[in-house]
A and B are shown apart, each in its own frame.
Chain A
Amino acid sequence: MRLAIRESRQGLRRIGVYMASITLGVGALVSIHSFRDDFARSVQEEADVLMGANARLSGDAPMGGAVDAVLDSLQGAGVEVARVTTASSMVLAPSTQTVRLLQVRGIDPGYPYYGAVATEPEDAWGLHLEPGQVLVDPAALSQLGVAIGDSLTVGTLSVQVAGTVDDLPTDVAFQTAIGPRVHMSQETLEAAGLIGFGSLARYEVFMRVASEEDREAIRERYGGLFRDADVSYRTAEEQARGLSNGVRFMGRFLALVGLAALLLGGVGVASAIHVYIREKRSSIAVLRCLGAGQGTAFLAYLTQAALLGLMGAGAGVVLGIGLQEVMPILLRGVLPVDVTTQLSLTSVAAGLGIGIWVAVVFALIPLLQVRDVPPLAALRQDFDPPKRQVDPVRFAAWTLLALSVLALCAYEAPNIELGLGFAVSLAIAGGAIASVGMGLMWATRRYFPSKASYPVRQGVSNLFRPQNQTISVTLALGFGAFVIGTIVQVERALRDDLTISFGSGRPNLLLFDIQTDQLAGIRALLPNEVRAESEASPIVTSRIAAINGIDADSLRSNPNRDARPEAWALRREYRNTYRASVGRAEEVVSGRWWDGTPGSDDGTRVDAGDLPRVSLELDIAESLRVGLGDTITWDVSGIRVPTVVTSLRRVDWGQLEPNFFAILEPGVLDEAPQTIVMIARIVDPNVRARVQRDLVGAFPNVSALDFSRVQETIDSVLSRVRQAVAFLGGFSALAGVLVLVGALATSRMQRLREGALLRTLGARRRQVMTVLFAEYLALGTIATASGLILAVVAAWLLVPNVFEIEYSVRATPIIAIWGIVVCLTVLTGLLSSRELLRRPPLPILREAPE
């Protein structure tokens, strides 16, 4: 130990930079681990407040008789109950003539039972229960251009804005992103006439139940009844667990990113130790001459690495504790609770342990060189002992490294499979970046023009100097470029695809909840040129009663998993349509359309006999385990409608067309209760706004969705997601830059010596600068190119296979990333060599002996 400390006095400062990358990785890990714990604790503490109650029922339809009876009896037993109904509706501000699609909520007194609602003016929560009064989210005011005290038209009713709801403790992440809300009493909502047949609404019942046992008793007693009524029952504890599980999952992904930064730091440590040991060769040989055994010398240096790891990890823990405080501030607005921070000793211990372990295990392999330094090297610099043929110790060190990486990934990942997958992907990405880098280096050496000016050739050839760190820098910078490059390529592809979906020629206005008798009136509201092209589709809500004569309940209990339809597909409420022709965004692939047109893959003709025919979408047919010729019996408002599947369609859901799982042939459902959805394309935004205004005035139950606003929303969500992921990618990039700085620090002396030598031989500053510039430019280019080539390959694999979008290379971001990384490399490099231009050559040559 004493030997280790004494031996480390010199030269360690340079390795210190590498330890900074260990610090960064450990900092990320500690902060993410601690934050995860903080969040889970805060959510559990606030479980009741987050729900606004301690149990909740929710469904997509009014609760119905059986559930209402249960609620009545619960109320009788002392359970407090408050109903909340939420619907989407067009809201008009008469003063500004602005219309927006908002969420309208009818709320019973009492809700929320827990937590304080922050309002403007203060203590305004409760005013929404007064007739004709509403409270709104602040965003609604700005979208409609109105202020507190102004009136709004909701449905058939004129109401007054009594105040704003600035903070509802039950708001979970992104809930308000769907649309700002208008809070009112249940009575007001009913009076507005918004909850009618077929309208889309969400029904919730919030309950305050005395104890956890009572809440569980309710589940035991009424769980089956709730399920049959398609109502879900959830306690506050369950919701809290769900929330913290979600964040835990996200936190584990974050931890993997932190781990990637840490492992990059490990690569840096390995390459720094390699150079360090090379430089220490003569010291080691002298130690050996003085009688130190192979093991003593090896242990001395291993102890140094462990001490450095301890320092790096210790600093990382401090950084992590600091970041832990910053995390809730960064994520404010996205998180459902105010997260309080607490020192998490397990996180600190884990960070410290992992940091030291990574430093040691990565240092081990280069440290094995120490064993190979013979005492004779003290006398003869160039003496090289014969290489070991098979070295079990080296093999063991590599195995230990591989196992450590696997174990760390498995420990940090959400589950073992993901962890191992991550480790393997890391290895593949690292190997691929290094191979591409080596290929580029080879090509550079082989094909670099010999006619180039001397300083440029000298700079490029410096990449190949003995003990160069070109590959480790390539790996570090390349990995950062790879992560960010992939993110940007994928995000651009998604964004471009969206722009096409919402682009010219596509419908941009969707009208829904239209009643049959309103259709003519609504058409009349549309401008003439739009009217002809607007397309109306009837929607008939139906459920599946039976398949091939077997009723849904029996199907559900089929023990044969392969034959059993998926539960969600069987239980869901279908919004079916009927029409004569195939839609724009779909294609018949199997069977035949009503008119006999064969599908593209197979034109099997199915004899339906007397039964009506139905066309299913491919995926839903698979989920229901049905094919051509099978019968499906639909329950349409209590009437059973048997049908035969005569065709299967492939639907492009990405296109904004009214698309359906099931389409019936015309003539069957024409008389069934139905609503109508209509799409139109109105280019002029002013006309679009006018149509929406007129609509609210004449048909308050009809909702309109303006896709240009939807696109804005999706754009902003996408860019928020990209920012979040890029922030994480930034960790890897930063670790990459640290490795670069470390590599430059390690080879600084060599570079200074070469520069000073050139000055001695008569090189001017500009020529020396050109040499350095060429070296860093080539280094940055090779490193970035390796990462970016891989990023394009990754995007080329990901975009079509995961997102099902065509991929073409986006050149601009690639050039931008290349430019940024290269500028960074050149700048860092020139800064680390500035001494060369400032000082005369002799002092440098004397300080930097060979």
Chain B
Amino acid sequence: MMIVAEGLEKSYKSGGRPLPVLRSLDLSIEAESFVSIVGPSGSGKTTLLGLLAGLDEPSSGRVLLDGEDIFDLSEDGRAAFRAERVGFVFQTFHLLPTLSALENVLVPLELRGEVAGAQEVAAALLERVGLGGRLDHFPAQLSGGEQQRVALARAFSNRPKILFADEPTGNLDQETGASIVEMMEELNHEGGTTLVLVTHDLSLAERADRVLTLGGGRVAEDRPGRGAL
């Protein structure tokens, strides 16, 4: 198993009282599979994604990524783990505004200290997402769809074992959104990456091998998607 969550609980403080979002959630995701997570607003999709990626700490429970309990690691240990094995795509792109497209894609490689050949890898990835001619453009000079493609190239630059995507098409039109998801799927197949996608868009979710529906703080439904066929 690539991802295992056991007894995962998370509650936030709201008006002084704890507001439980996840209640004893169990989950396992196989390596190289494509899983989408759906559910109504406030059902805890992004919270779950954040916990699986070690971006937030659970109230209780544990998460094993690639066999390693990430909450046994320190913050820095988790950061190092992400640098090695995890990629991330956000709804709001989250590019660094002061860096060009190429430099944004280089960031994960540079954080890992990979200097040799990094430029070529990054340029090739941007070429792959159709931005070969815009390496030196800054985020402000790119459209939303182009920015998300840069974010995608960045997510794949460290050849992650797992890619987490949080509403990656939420800010894009349908056509652009579909092309982004296609690219994610292709990269997923080529690199053998496990893909976890949080989305509102049911038609998008259906493309996955498995569709998990959150409800009441747990996995309310777990069914195969079209991708499994």
Per-residue contact bits, chain B 42-77, to A (CB 8 Å; 1 contact, 0 not): 000011001001011100000000000000000110
* B110 contacts A by Cβ under 8 Å: yes
Q: Which one, B96-104, B174-182, B209-217, is touching chain A?
A: B96-104
A461-B98 contact given A764-B76, A764-B80, CB 8 Å threshold:
yes
Q: Are B98 and A464 in contact (CB under 8 A)?
A: yes
* A758 contacts B by Cβ under 8 Å: yes
A762-B79 contact given A840-B55, A840-B57, A843-B56, CB 8 Å threshold:
yes
* A671 contacts B by Cβ under 8 Å: no
* A392 contacts B by Cβ under 8 Å: no
Who on chain B is nearest to A767 by CB?
Answer: B111
Identify 29 residue pairs between A and B in the complex whose beta-carbon atoms are under 8 Å apart, listed by A's number: A454-B106, A458-B107, A461-B98, A464-B98, A465-B98, A466-B97, A466-B140, A753-B94, A754-B96, A757-B94, A758-B107, A759-B55, A760-B55, A761-B88, A761-B111, A761-B154, A762-B81, A762-B86, A762-B112, A763-B83, A764-B79, A765-B75, A767-B111, A840-B57, A840-B75, A841-B56, A843-B56, A845-B94, A846-B46
Question: What are the residues of chain B within 8 A of A464 when measuring CB–CB?
Answer: 98
* A66 contacts B by Cβ under 8 Å: no
Question: What are the residues of chain B within 8 A of A461 when measuring CB–CB?
Answer: 98-99
Q: Are B94 and A454 in contact (CB under 8 A)?
A: no
* A213 contacts B by Cβ under 8 Å: no
* A178 contacts B by Cβ under 8 Å: no
Complex: how many Å from CA A843 to CA B46?
11
Q: Are B46 and A850 in contact (CB under 8 A)?
A: no
* B158 contacts A by Cβ under 8 Å: yes
Question: What are the residues of chain A within 8 A of B107 when measuring CB–CB?
Answer: 454, 458, 758, 761
Residues of chain B at interface, number, CB under 8 A: 34
Beta-carbon contacts under 8 Å, A461-492 to B: 461-462, 464-466
Nearest CB in chain A: distance from B137 CB, A = 14
Q: Are A465 and B75 in contact (CB under 8 A)?
A: no
Residues of chain A at interface, number, CB under 8 A: 28
Who on chain A is nearest to B154 by CB?
Answer: A761
Nearest CB in chain A: distance from B159 CB, A = 13
A-B contact count (CB 8 A): 80
Question: What are the residues of chain B within 8 A of A841 when measuring CB–CB?
Answer: 55-56
* B82 contacts A by Cβ under 8 Å: yes
* A403 contacts B by Cβ under 8 Å: no
Who on chain B is nearest to A763 by CB?
Answer: B111
Nearest CB in chain B: distance from A275 CB, A = 14
Question: What are the residues of chain B within 8 A of A764 when measuring CB–CB?
Answer: 76, 79-80, 111
Question: What are the residues of chain A within 8 A of B90 when measuring CB–CB?
Answer: 845
Who on chain A is nearest to B112 by CB?
Answer: A762
Which of B76, B88, B93, B110 has a CB less than 8 Å from the CB of A760?
B88
Nearest CB in chain B: distance from A637 CB, A = 84
Question: What are the residues of chain B within 8 A of A762 when measuring CB–CB?
Answer: 79-84, 86, 108, 111-112, 158
* B24 contacts A by Cβ under 8 Å: no
* B11 contacts A by Cβ under 8 Å: no
Question: What are the residues of chain B within 8 A of A849 when measuring CB–CB?
Answer: 92
Who on chain A is nearest to B107 by CB?
Answer: A761
Complex: how many Å from CA A227 to CA B20?
96
Complex: how many Å from CA A760 to CA B79?
7
Q: Are A454 and B108 in contact (CB under 8 A)?
A: no
Question: What are the residues of chain A within 8 A of B81 when measuring CB–CB?
Answer: 762
Question: What are the residues of chain A within 8 A of B84 when measuring CB–CB?
Answer: 762
Q: Are B83 and A761 in contact (CB under 8 A)?
A: yes
Nearest CB in chain B: distance from A158 CB, A = 83
Nearest CB in chain A: distance from B144 CB, A = 9
Question: What are the residues of chain A within 8 A of B55 when measuring CB–CB?
Answer: 759-760, 840-842, 845
Who on chain A is nearest to B143 by CB?
Answer: A382
Which of A466, A765, A840, A850 has a CB less than 8 Å from the CB of B56?
A840
Nearest CB in chain B: distance from A606 CB, A = 76
Complex: how many Å from CA A462 to CA B107?
14
Beta-carbon contacts under 8 Å, A407-465 to B: 454, 458, 461-462, 464-465
Question: What are the residues of chain B within 8 A of A850 when measuring CB–CB?
Answer: 92-94
Question: What are the residues of chain B within 8 A of A753 when measuring CB–CB?
Answer: 94
Nearest CB in chain A: distance from B87 CB, A = 9
Per-residue contact bits, chain A 753-786, to B (CB 8 Å; 1 contact, 0 not): 1100111111111110000000000000000000
A758-B94 contact given A764-B80, A842-B55, A842-B56, CB 8 Å threshold:
no
Nearest CB in chain A: distance from B97 CB, A = 5
Which of B76, B83, B96 has a CB less than 8 Å from the CB of A757?
B96
Nearest CB in chain B: distance from A460 CB, A = 9
Question: What are the residues of chain A within 8 A of B50 when measuring CB–CB?
Answer: 842
- Other contacts beyond A458-B107, A465-B98, A842-B56: 15, CB < 8 A: A461-B98, A757-B96, A759-B55, A759-B79, A760-B55, A761-B83, A761-B154, A762-B81, A762-B86, A764-B76, A765-B75, A765-B76, A840-B75, A842-B46, A845-B90
Who on chain B is nearest to A381 by CB?
Answer: B144
Question: What are the residues of chain B within 8 A of A462 when measuring CB–CB?
Answer: 98
Complex: how many Å from CA A264 to CA B181?
51
Who on chain B is nearest to A761 by CB?
Answer: B108
Nearest 3 pairs of A and B residues by beta carbon: A762-B83, A454-B110, A842-B50
A465-B97 contact given A765-B75, A850-B92, CB 8 Å threshold:
yes
Beta-carbon contacts under 8 Å, B89-131 to A: 90, 92-94, 96-99, 106-108, 110-112
Complex: how many Å from CA A763 to CA B108?
8
Nearest CB in chain B: distance from A239 CB, A = 65
Complex: how many Å from CA A309 to CA B94?
36
